[in-house]
Structure 1
Amino acid sequence: MIAELLSSALGLALYLNTLGADFCYDDSRAIKTNQDLLPETPWIHIFYNDFWGTLLTHSGSHKSYRPLCTLSFRINHAVGGMDPWGYHLVNVLLHAAVTGLFTNFSRILFGDGYWTLIAGLLFASHPIHTEAVAGIVGRADIGACLFFLLSLMCYVKHCSTRGSSPSTWGWILGAGLCAGCSMLWKEQGVTVLAISAVYDVFVFHRLKMHQIISALCKRKNLTLFFSIGLLTSWGTALLGVRLYWMGNKPPSFSNSDNPAADSDSFLTRTLTFFYLPTKNLWLLLCPDTLSFDWSMDAVPLLKAVSDWRNLHTAAFYAGLLLLAYFSLKGSSNERECNGRTVMNGKQNANGHSCHSEMEYKTLEVKSSFASKEENGIKKHEIKKLQLPSTENIVVLSLSLLIVPFVPATNLFFYVGFVIAERVLYVPSMGFCLLVTVGVRALYVKAQKRFLKNLVFCSTAALIIFYGLKTVVRNGDWQNEEMLYRSGIKVNPAKAWGNLGNVLKSQSKISEAESAYRNALYYRSNMADMLYNLGLLLQENSRFSEALHYYKLAIGSRPTLASAYLNTGIILMNQGKTEEARRTFVKCSEIPDENLKDPHAHKSSVTSCLYNLGKLFHEQGHYEDALMVYKEAVQKMPRQFAPQSLYNMMGEAYMRMSRLPEAEHWYVESLRSKSDHIPAHLTYGKLLALTLQLKLLEC
């Protein structure tokens, strides 16, 4: 219990300075503009929309189905509104809870002692967790990891009580439910079922690869076969339901999100996708360079076999295969007990015999129930089981490192990122266990006391350095400006572009313009940056330059409705009404498919139709204006503010002397925004005209 408390306390302490941080990066879209968090939105919408508030079956959805995480955001919003402090507090507390659970799970593998504490401290301090904890949207990974560990612990209990207690099936039911909850926090949570199977076969039953098939055929192992079958069936059911719920279609992503997936060269895709796990492992080993975004060209594509990075790939997979091979094969004649090596089952210096490789039997770890008769009554007593061997732990650690990472490898489907540090939150548990078991093996092999102390001191230094790096990285996540500046050396195009947005919001116009131009220097076809630069120039009355950049943005991304909108407005103000009309019409015809942010797109299209209607209105074509206004009402998204649109519809009806319809839309305008001054003025004119007509009738 002390180890759990110490590691949780460290995990809590390292992130306390993030409580005063702002919303950063993806937080805006997942929280600030997500309609699913608002109290007026029915809470059931959470279960039909993706993580960003887009309908899950929509072609532009990222298919990130995480309703439990979104529900936690909604609760945060209900309690504290848009104050980021409460959101950060929940993230930090969840991380502390996960750290304690992970340390408790490590006790099953290492027993009570320093090794369990070391594993917990490594996890608590690792800098790779900063994005998941300091970035509010990282709660998806933390929450998934929490239920991941709860599911795994339930299955461990199932294994230890199987065949001797009726509660055993309650534990496996709990494991299945927690696995489902983990998947509903984030997709990779379902992989806990595979990890549970690995634990059962290789840790609890201590089987080697060549023993698995023969062991399953034995009658005494039917319960093992049944448990694995339940895990497989439940995992298949969860994946099938999720695939059906997301519309049986994979998500579509921009080529800048994952350039390798968009490459026409099979060789480039293969070499790059094989290299990316190597890069991810390096981030776990040496997290000296971290970034909020690794998209675009942050990791250059491997286009040829002669690329020297292929050596890293070869070394990584060779080492991984060797480690897996020797762990699964095991050693038949060399065993270790209490730090002493024995051969062929002989006793160690203390007279204790060794029954499996690399066991440390002086420590207690887990229990199972054994039945006995006492005074004619059948009771259960706890019998202590031996700790798993080093080989067993390595197999489990490798599985925990690799299996949860598999969905991010592009092996089964393309994903919308190159590297995402928060994706490594769950796999880092396997990494921490591997480091711990490696340190323990070095400690056991060391013959001199000096060497043993050196191993301990080096491990302590590693934990301290990890902790210091975490604190420094937390500083980068204090606000968006610091975060984006820290990412310039990794992803200059994206970092400069986002920094420009921040500087613009701070009214640092010249600095913002310089940042946008720096972003375009590194990547000239970034439609968002071209649009943002055009918007900045438009707001500063540099209309000709703004028009130039809007047209470049449209050329780079023909579906960017906001660029059409502002282009049309400038053309309309310049008196180029026909060109403006064509621009607005073209915007309204953009198909609502495969868009990154369909809500923003619909808002821009609605605004285009509104301005097109105004154009017809000013030309005296009121019938045409009304037809366009009605189309705008049909396409209008929920978050669109409709008061101006309704008011213009009222004006069009009034000009056509259709006063009842005009009054209806004036009332609708004031209902949507009671202090909308233009609607008050036009409604007043209507009432005055109506009164005048009544007086004339009299």
Structure 2
Amino acid sequence: INTNFRKNVHLLLNVFLLAAWGAVLLAGRLYWMGNKPPNFSNSDNPAADHPSLLTRTLTFFYLPAVNIWLLLCPDTLSFDWSMDALPLIRSLADWRNAHTTAVYLGLLSLAWFGLRTRPTAKGKEANGKAHLFTNGRNGNSNGHSYQCNDQEHMNNSHSEPHTNSAQNGTKKHCEARTPLPTTENLVVFSLGLLAVPFLPATNLFFYVGFVIAERVLYIPSMGFCLLVAVGMRSLYVRLRRRSFRTMLMYCSAALVLLFSVKTVLRNQDWHNEEMLYKSGIYVNPAKAWGNLGNVLKNQGKMEEAEQAYRNALYYRFCFLPALLLSPPPAAAYLNTGIILMNQGRLDEAKRTFLTCADISDENLKDPHAHKSSVTSCLYNLGKLLHEQGHQEEALSVYKEAIQKMPRQFAPQSLYNMMGEAYMRLNRLADAEHWYQESLRAKPDHIPAHLTYGKLLAMTGQKTEAERYFLKAIQLDPTKGNCYMHYGQFLLEESRLLEAAEMAEKAARLDSGEFDVVFSAAHMLRQASLNEAAEKYYGQAASLRPNYPAALMNLGAILHLNGKLQEAEANYLRALQLKPDDTITQSNLRKLWNIMEKQGLRTTGP
């Protein structure tokens, strides 16, 4: 008994040292975090912010049971378990409390099994080790010496006899082997490896910023796998019939195969972001839909992204009253508003941006990120108003954005748009101030170089303006928009050939940008390079086949180039899209007159 007691004390000492080392690491982590727990949103861990002590207690006791179930049966997995992924336990009548009780009783039973003290039978060691006595002597036969440096490793339940003989006065030594640890010691070690690394995630010492995080199960899973292996081994030893042992081996192989298949399937979910977020919709729809919307937006799937954002907002609003969570994230409104704006649904975009601007930043995990999203919403709202010609309203929104702007927000685009709004109002001094502020915030901000160059050209500072245009090109020689602005400046200076050269460079670099290609065609036409202008008008019309201005201008250049029937077709198509366009009507009548004089057949009256 004393020997076993000493062994258990030694085992407990090892577990204590392991726990102490974990506490040291935890203390170091807290020190590096400024001796305070991390900030997180109450939506990340709803139970931590719940006012009821009973709800908090029952839920926190339940979470380790859920984690153990994930180890036992990893059927439902998710990249995020926050919000309503795991409903709170609010009463003792909740059936999940039975799950909690069963798990803790099982763990206590394993701990009792590992730490209990049992008497050892004479001549036998635990874990299947035996010392063989022969003829009442300790390994001696016929008076000859027999020595064993260590005990033989035997089957846990069977001792196979072996013969060690010594003849002619010689002696023979059996092979020394390292003793295996006892089953009890393995159980205790496995429990320690399972429980100790998991303790910081239990909300016991401080609240954590997650409900369930599969990443914290990496080390505990080693203890769990060791427990399973010890259990299988003990069961194998206790089974007497060969058929039962064979069945156990087949069951073990099937278990390994099932978990391997699950690993392969889960790896497919992690193949890319879209598949990962789709796999989490069942567990955490609000977070999964929001992240999926971001991915779809980056892929250019705007309609699908919009629906994903709307789904995310729907689930956030559904869970808000029940969970006392933070309001829907401003980023979701920002992304939805941008998509609506790109689709031309401007009124809906305005309402979305305004709603975003009114969201409070209380109880948020990252209020700075929230303020950045609100500022971006106001920036986009001001830009929308600016494009609609409401410059005073745009300025008011920009000023609100500057007031709400967090310190880490990059303000150069906001300042530049302030300058553009003032420039539209012909308040050039104010415009210059904000252009300079934009360049001060980011000296290599290309849009500010271009807009400030336009302002300098308007005020007669031509040399300085050209310097800013060339600086913008130098900052990014692959950006067609820079060549386009410089080309327009050259065109105004009547440097037509240089302007045409810049226009063609711009159209080649940004061949998929309608505005750049369309402007390049205009500049080439003004430089009397009609063949090149026709090429780019045609390219612009292919980019926007239902844009009347593109079709009308393509018809006009074809008219000038003598391609009368093609010109007529484009004029007619433009009038189908915009029947009251007087310029197109006038051009078409002139074209018909020419075609009649040349004896060409027309489709007109």
TM score, norm. by length of structure 2? 0.61
Partner of 2:46: 259
Report SS of the residue matched to 2:7. coil
- When residues 444 and 251 of structure 1 are mapped into structure 2, their CA distance, relative to the original with a 3 A threshold, is same
Kept after mapping to 2: 8 A contact 1:646/1:669: yes
- Out of 286, 289, 299, the position equivalent to 2:76 is 289
- Out of 145, 148, 153, the position equivalent to 1:361 is 153
Deviation at 1:283, TM superposition (A): 0.7
Kept after mapping to 2: 8 A contact 1:650/1:665: yes
Deviation at 1:523, TM superposition (A): 1.9
How far, CA to CA, are the matches of 2:286 and 2:66 in structure 1?
A: 20
Residue type of the partner of 1:386?
P
How far, CA to CA, are the matches of 1:470 and 1:433 in structure 2?
A: 19
Kept after mapping to 1: 8 A contact 2:473/2:482: yes
Unaligned runs of 5+ in 2: 140-150, 156-174, 318-326, 362-370, 496-605
Partner of 1:391: 184
Report SS of the residue matched to 1:523. helix
Kept after mapping to 2: 8 A contact 1:334/1:341: no
- When residues 251 and 631 of structure 1 are mapped into structure 2, their CA distance, relative to the original with a 3 A threshold, is farther
Kept after mapping to 1: 8 A contact 2:152/2:177: no
- Out of 236, 247, 261, the position equivalent to 1:454 is 247
Q: Deviations over 1:40-99 (max 9, x none)?
A: xxxxxxxxxxxxxxxxxxxxxxxxxxxxxxxxxxxxxxxxxxxxxxxxxxxxxxxxxxxx
- When residues 615 and 592 of structure 1 are mapped into structure 2, their CA distance, relative to the original with a 3 A threshold, is same
Residue 360 of structure 2 is aligned to residue 544 of structure 1: no
- When residues 677 and 464 of structure 1 are mapped into structure 2, their CA distance, relative to the original with a 3 A threshold, is closer
How far, CA to CA, are the matches of 2:360 and 2:40 in structure 1?
A: 14
How far, CA to CA, are the matches of 1:352 and 1:495 in structure 2?
A: 70
Kept after mapping to 2: 8 A contact 1:360/1:387: no
Kept after mapping to 1: 8 A contact 2:277/2:292: yes
- Out of 294, 298, 307, the position equivalent to 2:85 is 298
How far, CA to CA, are the matches of 2:40 and 2:403 in structure 1?
A: 22
Residue type of the partner of 1:208?
N
Q: Deviations over 1:452-502 (max 9, x none)?
A: 223222211111111122222223333333333322221222233333444
Residue type of the partner of 2:328?
M
- Out of 328, 350, 355, the position equivalent to 1:526 is 328
How far, CA to CA, are the matches of 1:407 and 1:632 in structure 2?
A: 46
Deviation at 1:614, TM superposition (A): 1.9
Kept after mapping to 1: 8 A contact 2:153/2:177: no
Between 260-269 and 281-290, the greater mean CA deviation after superposition: 260-269
- When residues 632 and 332 of structure 1 are mapped into structure 2, their CA distance, relative to the original with a 3 A threshold, is farther
Report SS of the residue matched to 1:441. helix
Kept after mapping to 2: 8 A contact 1:534/1:546: yes
Kept after mapping to 2: 8 A contact 1:659/1:686: no
- Out of 606, 630, 643, the position equivalent to 2:446 is 643
Report SS of the residue matched to 2:153. coil
Partner of 2:259: 466
Q: Please give the residue correspondences for 1:197-216 in structure 2 after superposition, counting only pairs within 5 Å.
A: 207-209=7-9
How far, CA to CA, are the matches of 1:592 and 1:621 in structure 2?
A: 28
Q: Please give the residue correspondences for 1:160-171 in structure 2 after superposition, counting only pairs within 5 Å.
A: none
- Out of 92, 104, 118, the position equivalent to 1:317 is 104
- Out of 268, 279, 284, the position equivalent to 1:475 is 268
Report SS of the residue matched to 1:331. coil
- When residues 678 and 469 of structure 1 are mapped into structure 2, their CA distance, relative to the original with a 3 A threshold, is closer
Q: Deviations over 1:232-281 (max 9, x none)?
A: 68974x66665554455543223332222333444333332222111111
How far, CA to CA, are the matches of 2:50 and 2:412 in structure 1?
A: 35
Residue type of the partner of 2:401?
C
- When residues 518 and 390 of structure 1 are mapped into structure 2, their CA distance, relative to the original with a 3 A threshold, is same
Residue type of the partner of 1:615?
A
Q: Deviations over 1:552-606 (max 9, x none)?
A: 333345522322222222222233333322322222233537xxxx6xxx24x44
- When residues 519 and 685 of structure 1 are mapped into structure 2, their CA distance, relative to the original with a 3 A threshold, is closer
Partner of 2:386: 572
Q: Please give the residue correspondences for 1:674-693 in structure 2 after superposition, counting only pairs within 5 Å.
A: 674-677=477-480, 679-680=482-483
How far, CA to CA, are the matches of 1:233 and 1:291 in structure 2?
A: 31
Residue type of the partner of 2:390?
K
Residue type of the partner of 2:233?
R
- Out of 434, 445, 448, the position equivalent to 1:628 is 434
Q: CA RMSD in A?
A: 4.3
How far, CA to CA, are the matches of 2:26 and 2:417 in structure 1?
A: 46
- Out of 406, 410, 414, the position equivalent to 1:608 is 414
How far, CA to CA, are the matches of 2:487 and 2:303 in structure 1?
A: 44
How far, CA to CA, are the matches of 1:588 and 1:572 in structure 2?
A: 16
Residue type of the partner of 1:397?
S
Q: Deviations over 1:495-544 (max 9, x none)?
A: 33333444445554444433333333322353333333222221110011
Report SS of the residue matched to 1:425. helix
Partner of 1:618: 424
- When residues 483 and 667 of structure 1 are mapped into structure 2, their CA distance, relative to the original with a 3 A threshold, is same
Kept after mapping to 1: 8 A contact 2:194/2:224: yes
Deviation at 1:397, TM superposition (A): 1.2
- When residues 247 and 585 of structure 1 are mapped into structure 2, their CA distance, relative to the original with a 3 A threshold, is farther
Residue 398 of structure 2 is aligned to residue 584 of structure 1: yes
How far, CA to CA, are the matches of 2:301 and 2:484 in structure 1?
A: 37
Q: Deviations over 1:2-41 (max 9, x none)?
A: xxxxxxxxxxxxxxxxxxxxxxxxxxxxxxxxxxxxxxxx
Residue type of the partner of 1:272?
T
Kept after mapping to 2: 8 A contact 1:337/1:361: no
Residue type of the partner of 2:237?
V
How far, CA to CA, are the matches of 1:206 and 1:625 in structure 2?
A: 84
How far, CA to CA, are the matches of 1:346 and 1:258 in structure 2?
A: 60
Deviation at 1:286, TM superposition (A): 0.3
Kept after mapping to 1: 8 A contact 2:398/2:414: yes
Q: Deviations over 1:138-191 (max 9, x none)?
A: xxxxxxxxxxxxxxxxxxxxxxxxxxxxxxxxxxxxxxxxxxxxxxxxxxxxxx
- Out of 186, 209, 215, the position equivalent to 1:416 is 209
How far, CA to CA, are the matches of 2:313 and 2:107 in structure 1?
A: 40
How far, CA to CA, are the matches of 2:204 and 2:467 in structure 1?
A: 57
Residue 312 of structure 2 is aligned to residue 498 of structure 1: no
- When residues 239 and 274 of structure 1 are mapped into structure 2, their CA distance, relative to the original with a 3 A threshold, is closer
Unaligned runs of 5+ in 1: 1-204, 214-223, 354-358, 364-381, 693-698
Highest CA radius of gyration, 1 or 2?
2
- When residues 260 and 588 of structure 1 are mapped into structure 2, their CA distance, relative to the original with a 3 A threshold, is farther
- Identity across aligned pairs (percent)? 45
Q: Please give the residue correspondences for 1:28-43 in structure 2 after superposition, counting only pairs within 5 Å.
A: none
- When residues 234 and 279 of structure 1 are mapped into structure 2, their CA distance, relative to the original with a 3 A threshold, is closer
Report SS of the residue matched to 2:40. coil
- When residues 495 and 331 of structure 1 are mapped into structure 2, their CA distance, relative to the original with a 3 A threshold, is same
Report SS of the residue matched to 1:385. coil
Deviation at 1:438, TM superposition (A): 1.2
- When residues 323 and 211 of structure 1 are mapped into structure 2, their CA distance, relative to the original with a 3 A threshold, is closer
How far, CA to CA, are the matches of 2:341 and 2:282 in structure 1?
A: 30
- When residues 642 and 385 of structure 1 are mapped into structure 2, their CA distance, relative to the original with a 3 A threshold, is same
Deviation at 1:666, TM superposition (A): 4.6
Report SS of the residue matched to 2:416. helix
TM score, norm. by length of structure 1? 0.54
Residue type of the partner of 1:433?
L
Residue type of the partner of 1:439?
M
Kept after mapping to 2: 8 A contact 1:394/1:434: yes
How far, CA to CA, are the matches of 1:646 and 1:622 in structure 2?
A: 16
